[in-house]
Amino acid sequence: MSFSMNAPAQGVAPGPESYTSLAKPLVLVVEDEAAIATMLRYNLEKSGFRVDEAADGQEAITRIAEAQPDLVLLDWMLPVMSGIEVCRQIRRRPATRELPVIMVTARTEDQDAVRGLNTGADDYITKPFNMDALLARIRALLRRSNNVPSKGRLSFHDIDMDLTSHRVQRNGRAVHLGPTEFRLLEFFLQHPRRVFAREELLDAVWGPDIHVEPRTVDVHIRRLRKSINQGDELDVVRTVRAAGYALDTELL
């Protein structure tokens, strides 16, 4: 790729902490097909984003550490290191645990997409994709990961969410959540014990303009459960068959 390591940073320094609505978000495009990378760069820049590129998985890891993007657009099939492995590494490292990742897959098998989400991606899109749809998802994900209210605290049972520091604790222990799981838990904490259908959760957490499969919700609920319920702790996410989910301590 033609990315120059010496390119001067434009405007505010990149990185999730320093991102404000005034700064142009930095998107790392991880793509080994030059034509697709060029097309993505062109469209993203035209839409107000800054773009960094990596042509293989190893380069992606290096660019994430050096350039601290606000979001990663990650191709599934990559040389050197697969997109799945890149995503695993992003989630393993505390500094990038909450970095928004959209997986781009040429595979049409739903199983693979779900596998991508299970690996830690926040969203996925299948090639060939519609650029407007991709831009909508990028914006929604950035909104979710940066939309931190100026103050406030939400609590339920032994779960505590500090909206200022974006920290979640359960019984005094730190709980690490991805951006989607955080928004999901925030929404549940705002409406404890109320049952929400998958479609309602999609509208509230993903946004009404985002078209994702209702079972995407199941994937993120699974991930939320895995993070907040540890050991023999009570599962506070109640599944209501044929109805949806609720944050509740009474599980029946």
Instruction: Catalog residues that contact Ca ion under the rule CB under 5 A.
Output: 32, 75, 77
Q: Give CA–CA dist 37/41, Å, rounded.
A: 6
Phi, psi (degrees; rounded to nearest 5) at 125: -140, 145
Q: How far is the CB of 83 from Ca ion (least distance, A)?
A: 8
CB of 240: closest distance to Ca ion in angstroms? 40
Residue with tokens 């730190």: 174
Query: What pairs with residue 27 in β-bridges?
Result: 51, 71
- The least CB distance from residue 133 to Ca ion, in Å, is 19
Buried b (16+ CB within 10 A) or exposed e, 156-173: beebbbebeebebebeee
CB-nearer residue toward Ca ion: 54 or 184: 54
Beta carbon of residue 90, minimum distance to Ca ion (angstroms, whole number): 18
**Quick one: 68 or 105, whose CB is closer to Ca ion?**
105
How many Cα atoms occupy the beta-carbon half-sphere of 203 within 13 Å?
Answer: 5
Q: Which is nearer to Ca ion, 104 or 117 (CB)?
A: 104
Nearer to Ca ion, 60 or 219 (CB): 60
Using DSSP's 3-state secondary structure scheme, residue 189 falls into helix
Nearest CA to 155 out of 140, 176, 171, 143 is that of 171
**Which residue's Cβ lies closest to Ca ion?**
77
Shortest distance, position 75 Cβ to Ca ion, whole Å = 4
Helix (H) or strand (E) holding 134: helix 131-146
What are the two backbone dihedrals, phi and then psi, of residue 107, each rounded to the nearest 5 degrees? -80, 140
193 by DSSP, 3-state: which? coil
What SS3 state is found at 251?
coil
- As measured in angstroms, the least distance from the Cβ of 121 to Ca ion is 15
Q: Which is nearer to Ca ion, 109 or 209 (CB)?
A: 109
Q: Which is nearer to Ca ion, 56 or 186 (CB)?
A: 56
Contact 67, 26 (CB under 8 A): yes
